[in-house]
Structures are given as C-alpha cells and as structure tokens.
Amino acid sequence: MRKLRNLFLAAIAVVGFNVTAQAQEVAHINVSELIPLMPESKTAKTELEKLQEKYKKEMETMRTDFDTKLKKYQAEAPTAGDAVNETRGKEMQDMEQRIQLFVQNAQQEMGKKELALSEPILTKAQQAIHKVARAKGYKYVLDSTIGAGVILADGPDLMADVKKELKIN
C-alpha cells in the first residue's frame, strides 16, 4: 500500500513538473502593439501619407478639369449642334473612365507600397521576437493581439525585452 501511495505521489509530481515546465516554455507578445512603436513603422507611415497626398492632388486636378469641361459643355450645349454635343458627351465619358481607372491604379499602388514597406518591418520584429524568446528559453511565443486567438495571456510578456532588442523606448 505504501509503495502504491509513493508511486501515486511520484506520478503527481512528474505530471505537476511537466505542466510547470510546459508553462515556462510559452510566452506572449502583442505584435499589433509592437509594430507601431518601431521607428521604421513611423517612417513607412510618413512615406505612405506622402504618396496618398500625391495621388489625392492628382485626383483633385483631374476632377477639377472634368468639372470645368462639364460646365462649359453644359453651357454651350443648347447652341452647339447634335454632333458636337455627342462628341463632347463621349469625351466626358472617356474622362470619367480615366478618373476611375486612375483611382483603381492608385489604390493598387498604395497597397503594393504598403506591403513593400511593411514586410521588412514585420521581418525585423519577428527576428527580434525569435532572438529574445530563444535567449530566454521559450519554445513557443503566442501573439496576444486582441482577436489573435489567445484567450488568456498571464504568462511572460516579451514586449519589454523585444522593445529593448529593437532599441525602442
């Protein structure tokens, strides 16, 4: 009976140690909080805002040209002939299509630029997270961003160490 009890206590100790060891292998970090803190993110945001402003100005110029021609054509329509009005109508449709195409292309270019700027930032953050996690002996690091699937994040938070690694204050 005593051997059975000792065996049972040993089994509980092994299971308890195993659970404790596994808990120490897991840490978490809020990646969506980390990324905006990186200086590269601020630079990328500024670059994207400049590009967006450039496209906005081009769009406003196109829209102004369109509106000016439209008003002129509408004012002259009663005195212009049917053939001229038809030609002008087609011209206005073509201008509107060019504007729509410009908007689509600008959106695509903005998306490509955002992706090109964010990839190196994400890579750098991931490398820093890996380095800190390995140095601290963690085998698993969970993203504790809201909605990322982590329900409870009471384990070690690597944010301070990763910020230190990335030299973020």
pLDDT tens, residue by residue, 27-58: 999 999 999 999 999 999 999 999 999 999 99
pLDDT tens, residue by residue, 124-168: 999 999 999 889 988 888 888 888 776 566 678 888 999 999 988
Percent of the chain as helix, strand, coil, to the nearest 5: 75, 5, 20
Name the pairing type of β-strands 140-143 and 26-29.
Answer: parallel
Domain locations along the chain: 2-165
**What does the block give as tokens for 122?**
């994400």
pLDDT tens, residue by residue, 66-112: 999 999 988 988 888 889 899 999 999 999 999 999 999 999 999 99
pLDDT tens, residue by residue, 8-23: 444 454 444 444 445 5
Phi and psi dihedrals of 143, rounded to 5? -85, 115
Phi and psi dihedrals of 137, rounded to 5? 85, 20
Length of the chain, in residues:
169
C-beta neighbour count of 35 within 10 angstroms: 17
CA distance 107 to 97: 15
Q: Residue 158: what pLDDT?
A: 87
Q: Residue 2: what pLDDT?
A: 53
